[in-house]
Structure 1
Amino acid sequence: MALLKSSIPNGLDEEYYQITPEILTSFPKFRLPLATYKLKEDTVQVLVFKKAGERISKEEQEILAGLCAKGDIFLARSDHAIYSKHISKQLDLVLQDEHLKEAEIAEIFQHAITDQLELFMLQPVAVVYEKLYSDLMVLTEYLWEDHNRIKALIRRLHPEHSLARHSFNSGILGLGLFYKIMNGEITRRLFDKVAVALFLHDMGMSKIPSFILKKTKPLTQDELQKVHSHAKIGSKMAHKLGLVYEEIQICTMQHHERIDGSGYPNKTRDIKKLGRVCAIADAYCAMTSKRVYADAKDPKEALAELKNHSDKFDGRIVSQLASAILLGDW
């Protein structure tokens, strides 16, 4: 990455941030979707270089590239929504942009990964999975450098339910919770596998008829059986995608198992640690998001419900989740 020679003058960093040459080249050459600004060093002013959508000539492209290499080209933080949408399509650029704030990066990850999950749930085939996997690896790279960054992501869990949103919420919360109960004693390879497993734990739901998932009245016995089949369906889908490692089988098959043997699909009491984490993350995220048949519960209310079902959920892990949610102790 090119070295930026200039820095943002004091006080202006709340309004602007520098972009690197790599970021600049990711935009269309002749018309940028957002305004660019040039630093005028003698007066310490940031002035418009090109307005959003304004045509850029080849000569201006060279000038822009030269200024960018010097660190004299900026974007307005007020245009973050546009920038976020752009960079979410090339998520690895997040790792190259050191001027983004954690909250801004968290928003980009939320958009990008939820969008990819949406595409995957609509078409769960290898080519779509590969893009999702690539973005998840950018996320794990980002979090592996500093696990505390997950706090900003957890503050951006979706308030309303959909399969993709629930998968994002459960993936982020589950990943933070698993890292916490492992006391950070986890390899990068395992961290990557666990991330994929948690985000895809519910992929079998993509094969359940939408009229069942959108139903506001109690499900019939036949409909309930179809919903319960999603765990085994997810396991089979993982195999078809070549995801044969243990972690993804644990998450797809055990996120509805309960420690008293009352869960499904196998009514087993032998639930792995990751399975227990996934079950708790799945239940908590379901309760705290607005669904077609129920309003979202307050986090304290959801945690209390999990604690009241200590016969079904691992009480030690629930307590760890409670300290993380209520005290921010991630």
Structure 2
Amino acid sequence: MHAKGRMDVPDGLNEEYYQISPDILRSFNKFRPPLNIFMFNEKVGRVAPYYQVGGRLTKEQIETLAQMVKEGIIFVSRTDHPVYVKHIAYQLDLVLIDRNLKESEIADIFVEALTMRIGEFYDQPVAAVMEKLWSDLMVLTEYLWNDPFRIKALARRLHTEHTLARHSVNSGILALAMFIRMKSDSFSKNEITRNHFNRLTAGFFLHDLGMTKIPAFIREKPKPLTTDERAKIDKHPLLGYEMLSKLDLKYKEIEACVIEHHERVTGKGYPQKKSGRDISQLGRIIGAVDSYCAMITKRPYAEAVSPVEAATAISRDQGYDPEVTKNIQAWVLTLKK
């Protein structure tokens, strides 16, 4: 046993199990934890069951469990990873505490949590629900701040089936990945401020905010839209922009993503018919990414295309910033490795 009371456990144990910390234990239901729990038996050098889902811990077992967690001998199985993901998704800041999670596992948790939170917010786009989403987005920026390239693991986990929430998560993650690729020198020189990074992250994820004001039957219509329905869809950047004041989100980075994601460098976009460098870099990034992410998911009105096909299509379209599309193409090539 270590001097501070923590017991030595085999180095390879964490390949099969998560070691539970006191913070993680406190996040569980006290009497009925959501996962099977195992304890490390030092005498035989292996783990043994302590609690099985469906059972109920006694007060004595709860006290014993808390002590064993402090000693570092309580684990949950990595085979229960999907359950663990769903559990931590509701308390996302735990990913910053749990030192036993692998980067790929943390990426799973972020995608699950952010999809859930954005779905809740889009169902009820009011300030109180936005606060919860903002809190989780700030956990993401905290996670990325010291190592922005952690975004790569998230970008490998984009959704393949379309919903408004899934599309927003896909676009937010990939736009962040492209921004980080394009600004890698700025990150290394500490030229990106924390507030700027926080706000542009929120802007990327919330770019389609105005679509919450469009009836679902129009958004998800499997047949071609009527002229009137198309006109309603085309208003969503302005509708989203108008919502920002009520949500206390009037930051230039968020405004740019919401109002500019359908502008095109050729001047043939909407709603303001901006062109070239009159469109902010954030607007040009999220504009290309928004289209790419729409193409790679199965939608009610269109089948998904492959990442290569989608990247090729936007690179051939002169409406998108070629610097952005070049980076999307380069990123797609990494998916094959």
Is the TM-score greater than 0.5?
A: yes
Give the drift of 1:184. Answer: 4.6
Structure 1 residues 40 and 122: alpha-carbon distance in aligned structure 2, compared to 1, 3 A threshold: same
Aligned to 1:284: 292
1:219 aligns with 2:215: no
For 2:244, the aligned partner's letter is A
Give 1:80 deviation, angstroms: 1.3
Equivalent residue letter for 1:289: T
Counterpart CA distance in 2 for 1:98 and 1:324 is: 28
Q: CA deviation at 1:328?
A: 6.0
Matches within 5 A, 1:32-47: 32-47=33-48
Does 1:19 find its partner at 2:16?
Answer: no
2:105 is aligned to 104
1:14 deviation in Å?
2.1
* AA in 2 matched with 1:256: H
CA RMSD of aligned residues (A): 1.5
Query: Match for 1:283: what amino acid?
Result: S
Distance between the aligned counterparts of 1:207 and 1:231, measured in 2?
10
Q: Over residues 69-118 of structure 1, what are the superposed CA-to-partner deviations in whole Å (9 max), with x where a residue is unaligned? A: 01010011111111111111111011100101111111111111101100
Q: CA deviation at 1:321?
A: 1.7
- TM-score, scaled to structure 1: 0.96
Number of the residue aligned with 2:84: 83
> Offset of 1:7 from its aligned partner?
5.2
Distance in 1, Cα, partners of 2:286 & 2:172? 8
Distance in 2 separating the partners of 1:7 and 1:174: 43
Q: Is the counterpart of residue 202 in structure 1 residue 211 in structure 2?
A: no
Residue 194 (structure 2) pairs with residue 193 (structure 1): no
Residue 221 (structure 1) shift:
1.1
Instruction: Tell whether the 8 Å contact from 2:155 to 2:174 is kept in structure 1 after alignment.
Output: yes
8 Å contact kept, 1:34–1:53: no
Report whether the alignment pairs 1:312 with 2:302: no
**Structure 2 counterpart of 1:293:** 301
Give the unaligned 5+ runs of structure 2.
187-191
Measure the CA separation in 2 of the matches of 1:275 and 1:151.
Answer: 21
2: CA distance, partners of 1:327 / 1:147: 17
Work out the CA distance in 2 between the residues paired with 1:206 and 1:290.
20
Contact kept, 8 Å, 2:156 with 2:335, in 1: the verdict is no
Contact (CA 8 Å) 2:117, 2:132: kept in 1 or not? yes
- Which residue does the alignment assign to 1:241? 247
Task: Kindly indicate whether the alpha-carbon contact (under 8 Å) linking 1:16 and 1:75 is maintained by their aligned counterparts in 2.
Answer: yes
Alpha-carbon contact 1:8-1:17 (below 8 Å) kept: no
2:21 maps to a residue whose letter is T
Q: How many residues align?
A: 326
Amino acid corresponding to residue 251 of structure 1 in structure 2: C
CA 112–184 in structure 1, closer or farther in 2 if over 3 Å, else same:
farther
| Structure 2 CA distance for aligned equivalents of residues 321 and 163 of structure 1 | 21
SS class of match (2:125): coil
Deviations for 1:134-176, whole angstroms, at most 9, x for unmatched residues?
0010111111122221111111100011100000000000011
Contact 2:24/2:94 (8 A) holds in 1:
yes
Q: Which amino acid aligns with 1:280?
A: A
Identity of aligned residues (%): 49
Return the alpha-carbon distance in structure 2 between the equivalents of residues 165 and 133 of structure 1. Answer: 17
Runs of 4+ in 1 over 3 A off after TM superposition: none
Q: In 1, distance between residues paired with 2:26 and 2:10?
A: 24
Pairwise mapping of residues 55-74 of structure 1 onto structure 2 (< 5 A)?
Answer: 55-74=56-75
State the SS of the aligned residue for 2:91.
helix
The residue that corresponds to 1:267 in the other structure is: 273
- TM-score, normalised to structure 2, is 0.94
Pair 114,8 (structure 1): closer, same or farther in 2 beyond 3 Å: farther
Counterpart AA for 2:136:
D
1:193-216 CA-to-partner distances (Å, cap 9, x unmatched) read 111001000010011011111212
Structure 1: stretches of 5+ with no match in the other structure: none
